[in-house]
Amino acid sequence: MNAYVFPGQGSQKPGMGLDLYENYDEAKIYFNKANEVLDFNITGLMFEGSSEDLKKTSVTQPAIFIHSVIHSLISKNFNPQAAAGHSLGEFSALSACKAISFEEGLKLVSIRANAMQAACEKNPGSMAAILGVDDSIIESVCSNIKEIIQPANYNCPGQLVISGETDAIKAACEELTKLGAKRAIILPVNGAFHSELMSSAAEELEHAINQTEFNNPICPIYQNYNAKPETNKNSIKKNLLLQLTNPVLWTQSINRMIKDGYNNFFELGPGNTLQGLIRKIDSEVASEKLEI
């Protein structure tokens, strides 16, 4: 069975979406609509902006959402039996699978991005990618540090991102290196995504979600918070909020999807990050870019 996956922050790149805009009239309509919804020329940044222009969370998240959802809307090959999205990508999956409209989804993503950026300014933190050590060891080290620190992204076996207060992240990296981690890389971010330090962003997002019309999606969405398939709009809304302050269970989600019979994965949007992660989770399943 086929499943469709949508990337999160970090998959952006200069020129993203320009090929869709130039080659598909339907895509052009949606790109122009995105500028109207956001009330600024985000397509100009997507098509002509530099890597630095695209790094700002308030630009990155809407840009990836726009590219990913338009990819699904214009593709003749998008016929989902299940879907999942990595962090921000969960909103793309929900919009592509008719739980929220393109316009309402974009508004939510913009609010989420701005709220997360504000939370970063209010409570600066750090994140680090830990490579080559068991998840249980990372979890144990985090639990023994008094400051705020926790697992943030279970990306694939041997790759877990931690998030929290800067001093705590540095201490964890030092300890995990001693315990055998192949690498402990401080990431170039100014905030602690998917941690308690995002609680103020969750409060703002909750209000926006409650003001947004949701439908039950046309297929199960495997959500980051619990790695389970959800089709009930109320459960989906609750899990979207919990996602902000809890880890992205990507490895667990993909394993659950495979267990449930999905063995062909198609990635939409910019980049191919998720294809690589899925192959590391299970090299037996197929993973490729969705063709238009």
CATH of domain 2-121+196-289: 3.40.366.10
Same fold, 2-121+196-289 and 125-186: no
Q: Is 43 helix (H, G, I), strand (E, B) or coil?
A: helix
19 Cβ neighbours under 8 A, 6+ residues apart: none
Tokens of 263: 């063995």
At 125 the pLDDT is 95
Tell me the C-alpha distance between 29 and 17, whole Å: 13
> Which segments of 119-207 are extended strands (E)?
126-131, 149-156, 159-164, 183-186
Show contacts of 272-277: CB within 8 Å, 24+ apart: 273/7, 273/10, 273/11, 273/86, 274/5, 274/6, 274/7, 274/86, 274/89, 277/155, 277/156, 277/159, 277/250
Q: Is the pLDDT of residue 181 over 90?
A: yes
Q: Is the pLDDT of residue 202 over 90?
A: yes
Class of domain 125-186: alpha beta
58's enclosing H/E stretch is: helix 57-74
Tokens of 219: 């297929």
Contact 140, 84 (CB under 8 A): no
42's enclosing H/E stretch is: helix 42-48
Q: Nearest 5°: phi and psi at 130? A: -110, 120
Q: Would you list the domain boundaries of the chain?
A: 2-121+196-289, 125-186
Q: Compute the average pLDDT of residues 74-96.
A: 97
Segment 225-259, tens digit of pLDDT: 999 999 999 999 999 999 999 999 999 999 999 99
C-beta neighbour count of 174 within 10 angstroms: 12
C-beta neighbour count of 283 within 10 angstroms: 8
Segment 108-133, tens digit of pLDDT: 999 999 999 999 999 999 999 999 99
At 189 the pLDDT is 84
Q: Is 150 helix (H, G, I), strand (E, B) or coil?
A: strand
Tokens of 108: 């939510």
Q: Is 116 helix (H, G, I), strand (E, B) or coil?
A: helix
Residues 215, 234, 3, 291: is their CA dihedral positive or negative? positive
Percent over 70 (pLDDT), the chain: 100
Residues 109, 250, 240, 231: is their CA dihedral positive or negative? positive
User: Predicted confidence band at 195 (pLDDT cuts at 50, 70, 90)?
Assistant: very high
At 188 the pLDDT is 86
Question: Of these residues, 58, 75, 87, 110, which one is catalytic?
Answer: 87
Q: Is 71 a catalytic residue?
A: no
Burial 233-257 (b: 16+ CB within 10 A, else e): bebbbbbbbebbbbbbbbbbbbebb
At 190 the pLDDT is 78
Q: Is the pLDDT of residue 26 over 90?
A: yes
Tokens of 114: 């701005």
Q: Is 87 a catalytic residue?
A: yes
Tokens of 23: 């080659």
Q: Compute the average pLDDT of residues 136-160.
A: 97
Question: Of these residues, 86, 194, 253, 287, which one is catalytic?
Answer: 194
- Kindly report the CA angle at 138 between 136 and 140, in degrees rounded to 5? 70
Q: Compute the average pLDDT of residues 183-199.
A: 93
User: Predicted confidence band at 87 (pLDDT cuts at 50, 70, 90)?
Assistant: very high
Mean pLDDT of the chain: 96
Q: Return the closest-CA partner of residue 269 out of 48, 91, 42, 22.
A: 91
